[in-house]
Structure formats: C-alpha cells, structure tokens
Chain A
Amino acid sequence: MARIVGGVTTSHIPAIGNAMTKKLEGTPYWKRFFDGYEPVKEWLARVDPDIAIVVYNDHGLNFFLNQMPTFAIGCADRYENADEGWGLATLASFEGDAQFSWHLAESLVGQDFDIATCQEMLVDHGFIVPMALMWRHLAEWPVKGIPLAVNTVQHPIPSARRCLALGKALRKAIESYPEDLKVVIFGTGGMSHQLQGERAGMINVDYDLRCMESVVSDPDWLASQSTTEIIEQAGTEGVEVIHWLVMRGALDPEVDVIHKHYHVPVSNTGAGVLVLENA
C-alpha cells in the first residue's frame, strides 16, 4: 500500500530559482533563507520518498486563460520544464508515474473531486523551484514527481476549505494504491505577498506566522477564511497559501512538527517552511 511519509511547505518564487542557478546560497541576502532548508533535506534523505506530489499553481506556462482548470493533475510518464519568459534556467525533465496518477484521478473523481487530467503538462517555477530546493545537490531527481495544479491565478479560485477537503480525499486516494510507495506532499507558494497594484510589496508577518500555526495545529482556522479575507491579509498572490491546506488535509489531525522556519523578506515575500509527520 502506498503511504504518506509526511508533508512539506515551501515558497516557490522565481527569485529562489535564480539564486540557486547563480549559486548565491551563501551570500548575506540568501544565507538564512537557504539554511532553513538544510533540516528539510536531512529529513527527506531519512524518509527516502519514492514520489513527491507537488501542489502549486501554474503561472501561465502550461495553462493559459483560455482553459483554466480549478484542479488539475499530471498523468504522464514525464514532465518537461520550459521557458516561461521569466529568465529562469530550464531544468532537467522529471519522471512521473502515470499509473499512480491515473489511480489518484480515478479515486479523487470517485470521491466527487472532479479534477482535470493532463497527459502533457509543462511544469513551471511553482513545481521546479521546490524540487530544486530539496534535491539540486544530487545528480538526478531521486523521486518521481506528480504535479497537482490549483488555480490561484484567475478568480473564481477554490476556497481554502475546498483545498483542505481535497487533501483529505488525496490521502484516501494515495492509501488505496496497492503498490508500496512512500509519498511526500509539498504544499508550495506563499506566504504573504502582493506583486501588483499600489499595495505591491505588502508582507504580513503576523498573518504568516498565524497561518503556520494554523497549518500545524488548527487547519480549520485558515480553511474557514474566505478568499477575500485571505487576499486582505496575505495579498493577491499570497492567496497561494491555500495550496498548503491540500498537503495538510492529507495528514492526520494531529501532526509532529519536524522542522519550522520563517524568513522575511525573500524578494517580495515572507517564506515559511514546515516539515510535518503524522503523529
């Protein structure tokens, strides 16, 4: 049976990708941010997952505004990264697991989560930056990746509560797969930031830390907020924090915190890292 070894939260902003490409990890601006990932990398080496399900939003690489699925899952054997116009280095492709993906899709749709299925899916910085943060020190990606895209780009976007419920359904889907696979789930994006408009540059440290506490011990606090409430507190782009709830929903009500870290600012954002295991 497939099982979940734990969940991780991480930022996925392009500036982090550029910093890694330029090997700026040790510079004064970046050092503390990247130091926050060393315990994550150690934990991943210890639990040794076979699969990483990466919950993120596509920022206009794979999906254009002509067709915008609320939830979409990659169901391919391989995923390519590509030029998204942001000047990021294109990374090596990622091996997928089509059989497992299709099982997840069947199970989720069977649980009334009508997720779109993608047999060709370009993965953008939302997917590749977390993968690189965890495993760029290795010659090859040590896991298969499964992209799970949540629309947080074009409103209406799914509610926070719906994301938490998707995580609960995702757990049932994972644990009903007969093969012995170890699965880690990355909830990516956030934390508070707004890139556009006169309010650009807002960062809300109090709200970020409250969200991290909520994701650890009281996910209903965040899940009960409306999209407008989250935008007010976290910014239009900070609403990505609802991706974290997909990861959180897939874990037990009680979790152990293996690691937590917060750093501000990283480019225009607050950056929160959590490693959670079922208690």
Chain B
Amino acid sequence: MTWNKHDYDEIPGTYVFDGKTSHAAYPLNKLLFSFNHAENREEFAKDPAAYADKYGLSPEQKEALLNDDFLGMIRLGANIYYLAKLAVPRGFSVQDAGAAFQGITTKEFQAKLDARAEGLVDRLKEEGYWNG
C-alpha cells in the first residue's frame, strides 16, 4: 500500500489534484460539490459544523472549512474548482482566494495580474495578436 510519487509534486506552491489528493479529500470535495444546489448552500449557512459532520469531514478538514482557510483546504486536498462553489456564493472572488493563498491583499494580487500586460502592446502588434 503505497502512493506513487510524481515529478509534479516538486513544483513550488502547487498542489496537483491527483488520485492521492482526491482520495484523501473525498468527503470534503463531496461537500463542496453539494453546493451546486442552492438549498445545500442555505443548509450549510445555517449550521456549517453540522453540515461538515453530515459529510464526514476529518477534524482538520472541518476546521479549515469553518475558518474559510482556503490554503488549508487546498493543502488538505480540496479541488480548486470545487472550492469555488464555497467561495464565490459567499462573496469571495477567485482573486480573493488567490490573494489568500499568497497572504496578500486582493488589490495587491490584482496589481500583480495587471502587471503581466506591461510592455506587451508593441509585441502583440508586431506578432499579429492585436485586435481592437
């Protein structure tokens, strides 16, 4: 009984969602998946701890969930697409989550994204990728 090792495990700041992760976090992701339905989002909002217990979360998963600890949930195996089903309806954007992962403000995170465009106009025009 052993999990395969993968070269992608060595990429810094990156949690590749594979069988090992998905197996460990199955109850957590099943809970997050349930948020596709509005009535489940409402039930969770009324009593988050009871909802976590209903899905059989581990104590660590439950603690991260109840504290909106996004990085903690990712480290425990939450899939980012499923985590969004928790975060977005509760008013967190993907930039808010990204900022939380890095421990910076959302504005700082967005400024880093905007900086990717700096100095690109000439290159895109030159290489034919410019319209509008």
Interface residues of A (CB under 8 A from B): 15, 31-32, 34-36, 38-39, 59-61, 64-65, 82-87, 153-156, 194-201, 203, 205, 209, 212, 227-228, 231-232, 235-237, 259-262, 264-265, 267-268, 270, 272
Contact = CB atoms under 8 A, between A and B. Distances in A.
Given A195-B94, A228-B6, A261 B17 contact: no
A150 B90 CA distance: 29
B76 interface: no
Contacts of A15: 94
A197 B15 contact: yes
Nearest to A32: B132
A199 B85 contact: no
B120 A205 contact: yes
Contacts of B81: 59-60, 153, 195
B114 to A, nearest CB: 6
Nearest to A157: B18
B97 interface: yes
Nearest to A235: B14
The residue in B71, B116, B130 that gathers the most chain A C-beta atoms within 10 A of its C-beta is B116
B31 to A, nearest CB: 11
B89 to A, nearest CB: 6
A121 to B, nearest CB: 15
Contacts of B59: none
Contacts of B109: 200-201
Given A38-B131, A85-B85, A201 B113 contact: yes
Nearest to A262: B129
A256 to B, nearest CB: 13
A155 B16 contact: yes
B129 A195 contact: no
A196 B38 CA distance: 24
The residue in A34, A196, A200, A203 that gathers the most chain B C-beta atoms within 10 A of its C-beta is A196
B interface, how many residues as a size bin? Answer: 35 or more
- 3 nearest CB pairs, A to B: A35-B132, A198-B13, A85-B85
Contact of B85 (A84, A153, A201, A267): A84
Contacts of A270: 116
B12 A198 contact: yes
Nearest to A267: B94
Given A65-B79, A227-B8, A231-B11, A85 B88 contact: yes
The residue in A65, A199, A200, A201 that gathers the most chain B C-beta atoms within 10 A of its C-beta is A200
Nearest to B34: A85
Nearest to A227: B8
Contacts of A200: 13, 97-98, 101-102, 109
Interface in B76-127: 79-86, 88-89, 94-95, 97-98, 101-102, 109, 112-114, 116-117, 120, 124, 127
The residue in A60, A197, A259 that gathers the most chain B C-beta atoms within 10 A of its C-beta is A197
Contacts of A212: 129
The residue in B35, B95, B127, B131 that gathers the most chain A C-beta atoms within 10 A of its C-beta is B131
7 contacts: A31-B132, A38-B131, A38-B132, A196-B80, A199-B11, A200-B13, A237-B80
Given A35-B132, A84-B36, A195-B98, A232 B88 contact: no
B129 A209 contact: yes
A60 B128 CA distance: 36
A155 B132 CA distance: 38
